[in-house]
Structure 1
């Protein structure tokens, strides 16, 4: 069930309440990937779509000087605040979505996105914002589940209408990785497809993109999906 806040933001109180226990087995499986996202961080780090704060224990152990997050759902955000306190992480969480980041251009050293682009309504707008706030030479690190090939992809498309309603709008069959890798504003320095998902939430991909320091790429546009 989806409620709406006074400002029109979708809320998912039931989903937020059951999320952590439901995904606990999956989280144990992908813990090494979350550690990979948080390895050797420095400077200002932005966690997009913090949810209930799944990345917070890893960010707390990283070398980040400052951690900022965004999360539009107040129920998820409340749990994230509690988790930050539990793991001793100092973090500012803004109540906004990834399509409109309340940060200055060229102000972030690393953007981290962990299993969030599947639920972002406007992927292109969010990627525009990532490119805007990242410093030239800054990193965009991601861990996402994406569309599968063959029968597994067809299964994702078949169950998507029901899955999306139950999982707060999660899109199983998005080719998010293709959109990331095709964006000329970034240089791909690492990309892997991992045997870490649980169907239909599989495959899982992870990668590191570096914001190009090239004014010509400011006008570069992605090919239509």
Structure 2
């Protein structure tokens, strides 16, 4: 079952709420099969304390439950968007996964240092206001030897790159703050706190929100 923790101080979320974006997520449910193998990749062999950064409407919950059976795992999630967070709570209830869902930004995670074994990020860093600070927070809350697993879309090249530059202002407005021009994976792999375990470009997404990469980084000891 899902639970909120109102007694836990939450980071300032500036009343983030995009109801119509949440409805769009719901309308895209029939296309979830496209994401399924990548969500399975993120959920494979999970154990210990896990943090889902920017859980959205709870797209990772069912894959995590299928991969773990809900055993040997303590699952936490943050989601600053009010409508999406409510949907995530309902998703957790429907699939039967126990999740501690908190109202917080990735830039100010309400957890102690080295408190998680795995951090998950699934198409999240495109919307985070300060991705550099958020990555520092991921590194902070991961224990040494822990994993950061991600699926993110990044800046393209060639004519697609120029097209992304042109359409990003409108896309950002319509897609709840999503940016299609970020070099997110470069940011990840360049961070001195991590070593790369796996990194691959995957066949997912359509212009302008493409290409996608997935991977696993290990927190250096």
Q: Give the alignment's TM-score, normalised by structure 2.
A: 0.90
SS of 1:174's equivalent?
coil
Task: Return the offset for 1:23.
Answer: 5.8
Find the aligned partners of 1:170 and 1:24 in 2 and give their Cα distance. Answer: 21
**Pair 1:97-2:142 in alignment:** no
Say whether residues 1:8 and 2:20 are aligned partners.
Answer: no
Which consecutive residues of structure 2, in runs of 5 or more, have no partner in the other structure? 1-11
Q: Deviations over 1:125-173 (max 9, x none)?
A: 1001100000000000000010011111111111111111110000011
Deviations 1:88-131 (A, max 9, x none): 10000010010011111111000000000000000011001100
**Residue 131 of structure 2 is aligned to residue 120 of structure 1:** no
Q: What secondary structure, in the 3-state scheme, does the structure 1 residue paired with 2:106 have?
A: coil
Aligned to 2:9: none
Give the RMSD, CA atoms, in angstroms.
1.4
| Residue 201 of structure 1, CA deviation | 1.4
Q: CA deviation at 1:47?
A: 0.2
Aligned to 1:216: none
Q: CA deviation at 1:189?
A: 0.6
SS in 2 for 1:69: strand
Tell which has more relative contact order, 1 or 2 (C-alpha 8 A, sep 6+).
Answer: 2
Question: How far apart are residue 24 of structure 1 and its match?
Answer: 3.8
TM-score by length of 1: 0.89
Cα distance in structure 2, aligned partners of 1:85 and 1:205: 30
Match of 2:193 among 179, 185, 200: 185
| Equivalent pairs, count | 207
Cα deviation for residue 84 of structure 1 reads 0.5
